[in-house]
Structure 1
């Protein structure tokens, strides 16, 4: 591949990522796709529909990733989530922090991006603060306790930390067979549970949203792992994946990439700072939500109700920024992308995020009842 062909590939991938993320943002806003909202619906009113929507998206993403891996369009060993350590303490602590934070901040990173597209200034503040906290945890002051205290506690494994590899190590079957069977099996179970039960017109709309979100994640894996693969970089001759921040296969995540957007904006004149997969996806999410809000005539400028509301959102933003990096992902990064490839740590992270959210919601409910 020549340098001009490589540059053309980068431009093509970035445009495709932007458009795909725009679809994701529009779908999420149109169908009210929100993990925090799904959990609060269950905790407060016993409505499981949006949780079914989330699980349907996970199931579709799992099936899609299994099929992509089977077709050799994606190499699971070369994804951003691949390692040989289960960072269980980081997953628990980071997940709990993120779960509490997204309740205080009225939604996760993805939800706040779609709200910015609808005119929410409070979500813009949340994203700015979250990006600063995330960047500090990646490279700044909070990166020290992350690396020294949390990531030093782990379970080492002789293989990459994916469920099929672990099952294959137990002698059950080959890795390829297990990846297909387990991925499709768990995926179909989640899809069946998601679409089960009575369905109104609203329910069908939500389920279509879950289906489309799952398909967007699958498309992201294919775009990054297949179409973005470069066998030999024209200058370094290294095998890599075009436009990704790590040079490995990535899908969607919205904590560290928001920090990368801040880094790109602040150091724009530095030629080393270039737009990457995650940063472009952030812009795409906002653009898609903006288009949807304008088409629906729902765009409204929104601010904080009072100083207590501001303080609550600021605390939530910090918790999400720190927790999202510590847990290596958010409700999209871990709750859709990583879990779709059956990453063992993602199950711990997602369970911790849900637990953190439930605790925060119960505390808020108790405070309301007292007042």
Structure 2
């Protein structure tokens, strides 16, 4: 059964939601089994280590780049048609939002995608932080925080009414994207061998990146045959978290890719944790920890909507199509996370623990 037959059978909206569900399940399983987390990678790097967390993140990122750039070369996807490239990008939003998101994910002990995965495995701390993240993201998208987001995002935007390709801006050939992804993958594998990471973790880490390519290809393919305009998008958890929340609160909400993505991650991570016997109920250790996590969730919710995506949406999904503002946001997330870790956490560690 091809895409046209699926559309004729269930409709365009449900088809988009189905594709989101598929993408989410792949992401949920792979992220849960690999322990993929940008927050963990930035903290590890900030403390002078190129350990397993950095290796997993680099492998995920490089896999996404290789699969997405390869799909473009095969004609299965066009990055210029993606939602992130077809709308104006915000340099100021990427900088300010990226710094806020980076600080927030250290405070919450996980980025928005990681919180969703952990919540699916019984972590009640992540449930609370994830709900606060989703509410703040919705407030920043269409609520009382939206004017502030618009003001900050409008300070410095890309010219021409659309985003900028980093490859085009640097006058690099199209094949450079694929070559760059392969080079980073080699570095990741070298680090993985140095840190004695097993093949299962490597496979699942690359699976997270593969899920990004799956989302891009499925939504692009749907957009080619759908009667109504379909956003070409992939894995991200700022807008989808807000949209999924409103889907269950608004009786007039419609099915779309975002609405299928979040439940897909929950299903995938939940089943994966059960099969691995890693599902366990967990709660906050203390009031200060809970307060810190809640503040971090607010910073991530507003920061993600300002930056144009979360650690996954901008950092991996946007980065895989070389959206310039996504790369800037990712860089600022690293800076914000490392700075926050240094100011709040490293100073409380003993010299031996900080190494």
- Quick check: 1:222 aligned with 2:228? no
2:280 alignment partner in structure 1: 300
What is the CA–CA distance in structure 2 between the aligned matches of 1:304 and 1:87, rounded to whole Å?
Answer: 36
From 177, 180, 188, give the equivalent of 1:183: 177
Q: Figure out how many residues of one structure are paired with residues of the other and give that number.
A: 346
Deviation at residue 96 of structure 1 after TM alignment: 0.4
Deviation at 1:259, TM superposition (A): 0.8
State which of 319, 330, 345 in structure 2 corresponds to 1:350. Answer: 330
Deviations 1:61-84 (A, max 9, x none): 112222222233222222111147
What's the offset of the Cα at 1:42? 2.5
Corresponding residue number in structure 1 for 2:125: 122
For the pair 1:258 / 2:232, whether they are aligned, the reply is no
> CA, structure 1 residues 232+324, in 2 after alignment: closer, same or farther (shift >3 Å)?
closer
TM-score (norm 2): 0.90
Counterparts of residues 234-273 of structure 1 (less than 5 Å): 238=228, 240-241=229-230, 248-267=231-250, 269-270=251-252, 273=253
TM-superposed deviation, 1:283: 0.7
- What is aligned with 1:93? 96
Q: Which residue of the other structure, out of 300, 303, 308, is the alignment partner of 1:323?
A: 303
Distance apart, 1:17 and its partner CA? 2.8
Q: 1:250 Cα shift?
A: 0.3
Q: Is residue 2:262 matched to residue 1:282?
A: yes
Contact kept in structure 2, 1:77 and 1:160, CA below 8 Å: no
Task: Give the superposition deviation at 1:56.
Answer: 1.7
Structure 1 counterpart SS, 2:47: helix
One of 149, 153, 156 as aligned partner of 1:153 = 156
Contact 1:33-1:54 within 8 A present in 2 as well = yes
Counterpart contact for 1:83–1:161, Cα < 8 Å:
no
Q: 1:196 aligns with which of 184, 187, 190?
A: 190
Equivalent residues of 1:159, 1:166 under 8 A apart? no
Q: 154-163 vs 210-219, which deviates more? A: 154-163
The offset of 1:128, in angstroms, is 0.9
Alpha carbons 1:98, 1:353 under 8 Å: kept: yes
Tell me how far 1:163 sits from its aligned partner: 2.1
Q: Distance in 2 between the 1:274 and 1:3 partners?
A: 18
Asked if residue 60 in structure 1 is aligned to residue 54 in structure 2, the reply is no
Deviations 1:92-118 (A, max 9, x none): 100000000001111011111111111
For structure 1, list consecutive stretches of 5 or more residues without a partner in the other structure: 173-177, 242-247
The answer to whether the 8 Å contact 2:23/2:212 transfers is no
Aligned 8 A contact 1:49 1:203 in 2: no
2:142 aligned with 1:139? yes
Change (3 A) 1:160 1:325: closer
What is the CA distance between 1:203 and its match in structure 2? 4.5
Q: Which has the higher helix share?
A: 2
Find the residue that maps to 1:23 and give its secondary structure. helix
Contact 1:20/1:216 (CA < 8 Å) preserved in 2? yes
Q: Higher mean Cα deviation, 20-29 or 346-355?
A: 20-29
Could you give the per-residue CA deviations for residues 173-209 of structure 1, whole angstroms, max 9, x where no partner exists? xxxxx22x12112111111111114346534443222
Q: Is structure 2 residue 345 aligned with structure 1 residue 365?
A: yes
Q: Counterpart of 1:274 in 2: which secondary structure?
A: coil
Cα deviation 1:207-233 (Å, max 9, x = unaligned): 22221111111111111112x124451
Alpha-carbon shift at residue 164 of structure 1 (Å): 3.1
Residue range with higher mean Cα deviation, 285-294 or 12-21: 12-21
Deviations 1:9-30 (A, max 9, x none): 5434433431331121122111
Q: Is the 8 A contact 1:264 1:274 kept in 2?
A: yes
Q: CA RMSD in A?
A: 2.3
